Amino acid sequence: RIRYMEILAQEWGWSAETVKHLNKRPFWKIKAVKENHDNIMKFLMLSYRNLVEFARKHHIHSSVVPQDINILSRKLYTAFEELPGKVSLLNTQISHNLSEAHLTFVEVRGNKHFKDGWYLINQPIHHIMFSKERVIEYGESLNK
């Protein structure tokens, strides 16, 4: 089974580093889990749109009523759309422990390296500078 997965990874063009990163999934922290969750959601929504477009383009008729497809579309977008103030739920099965040793909210205004707004970073407050790698979440206001 492992050999087959290695063959698939090569066919997909995954580097050894990518495979190593994915194998560490049970130990990922919130930033890696969030990035993967976002990528999976984008891929699923794109796949859904492509399937619907393919069916329309090729005049594929199914037992599914167009109204049902519209309802499903609205439910998918409602579930996965990012809106101000909406809290996104992450799959807790991705990693055993999403806790961070330190979380700090930082407000940035008038900085040439960062957009104005609020940043959630995973380092203690006594660090004056922070890098983009430390940013877990960004919002123009705190209610994002």
DSSP readout, 64-115? Answer: S-HHHHHHHHHHHHHHH---TTPPPPP-TTS-S----S--EEEEE-S-SSS-
Q: Identify the band that residue 144 occupies on the pLDDT scale cut at 50, 70 and 90.
A: low
**Mean pLDDT in the chain?**
85
In this prediction the pTM is 0.72
Q: What is the DSSP letter of 58?
A: T
Residue 121 burial (C-beta neighbours within 10 Å; 0-12, 13-18, 19+): buried
| Token pair listed for 96 | 């055993």
Q: Identify the band that residue 134 occupies on the pLDDT scale cut at 50, 70 and 90.
A: confident
| Strand order through the sheet with 135-139 | 104-108, 117-121, 135-139
